[in-house]
Structures are given as structure tokens and as C-alpha cells.
């Protein structure tokens, strides 16, 4: 059942990324090009996504189990530490260079292009290195 829910959530998430145009790197770069020909469309996407997810997260606040009885796995940490800022900074550089973040990257694999494979292959290696540095936390 958990697998089926994950599959459905993946399909809906993927459809959302495609509908919003985030699967085209040029659209993401245009959103980030605030100093040039800025296209704010993706700000609406983020705002809508957060607005729809807020009630769901509010409903689960303080609960130990989900509707299916699974452990609610929300990170509890609140400390603003160096890895958070350093990691987000490195991610920001990569995102600004490519116009691709992990979700659209995975979807772009379906194009079968060298560009997509180079990005996701490198992302995987970087993630493995990052996990090792972070002590392989789950």
C-alpha cells in the first residue's frame, strides 16, 4: 500500500513539474534571471505548492503515525548550521549553472540525452560523496 501511494504521489508530482514548465531548464534559468529578462512564473508554482501542502503538514503536526500507520518521518532539527548554508550554497551554484534541480533532472532522463545522463550521473556521484561526508544518515 505504501508503495502504491508512493507511485501515485510520484505521478502527481511529475505531472506538476511538467505542467509548471520546470522540466525545461530554460524556464528555470529565466526565473533565476532576476537581473535580466526575469520570468516570475515559477514563483507562482512554489507559492501554490506550499499553499496546498500547508494543511497536510499542519494536520500531521505532533502525530507519530500516518493514516497508514507508518512512522511520521519529519526532520526535527532546527539548528541553522554551517552544512545547511554551505550545502545550499553549492546546490544554488549547480542549479544556477544548469537550470536543473533533482526532480526535473530525474524526469529529463526520459529524453535519453547525454545532457540528462551527464547531469543525473554526476548528481548521483555527488550525492554518494555527500552521504559519506554526512556519515550516511538515513
Partner 1 sequence: MAGQLIPVWRSLSGGALIGAAAGLLMVVSGRVAGISGIVAGSLKANFGKQSWRLMFLLGLVLPALLVGVGPVDWSASPPTLAAAGVLVGFGTRLANGCTSGHGVCGLASLSRRSLAATATFVTVAIVTVAATHLLSHP
**CB distance 119 to 99 below 8 Å:** no
Q: How far is the CB of 41 from partner 1 (least distance, A)?
A: 4
The C-alpha atoms of residue 120 and residue 106 are separated, in whole angstroms, by 7
Distances (CA, A) of 90 to 49, 93, 96, 130: 24, 5, 10, 11
Distances (CA, A) of 99 to 18, 26, 50, 69, 125: 14, 7, 21, 38, 19
β-partners of residue 71 are 65
Q: How far is the CB of 11 from partner 1 (least distance, A)?
A: 4
Strand (E) or helix (H) holding 29: helix 25-32
Amino acid at each position: 500500500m505504501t508503495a502504491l501511494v508512493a507511485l501515485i504521489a510520484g505521478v502527481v508530482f511529475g505531472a506538476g513539474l511538467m505542467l509548471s514548465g520546470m522540466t525545461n531548464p530554460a524556464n528555470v534559468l529565466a526565473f533565476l534571471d532576476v537581473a535580466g529578462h526575469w520570468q516570475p512564473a515559477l514563483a507562482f508554482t512554489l507559492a501554490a505548492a506550499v499553499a496546498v501542502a500547508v494543511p497536510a503538514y499542519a494536520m500531521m503536526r505532533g502525530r507519530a503515525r500516518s493514516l497508514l500507520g507508518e512512522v511520521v518521518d519529519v526532520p526535527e532539527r532546527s539548528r541553522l548550521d554551517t552544512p545547511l548554508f554551505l550545502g545550499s550554497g553549492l546546490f544554488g551554484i549547480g542549479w544556477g549553472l544548469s537550470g536543473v534541480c533533482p526532480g526535473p533532472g530525474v524526469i529529463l532522463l526520459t529524453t535519453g540525452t547525454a545532457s540528462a545522463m551527464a547531469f543525473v550521473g554526476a548528481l548521483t556521484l555527488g550525492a554518494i560523496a555527500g552521504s559519506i561526508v554526512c556519515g550516511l544518515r538515513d
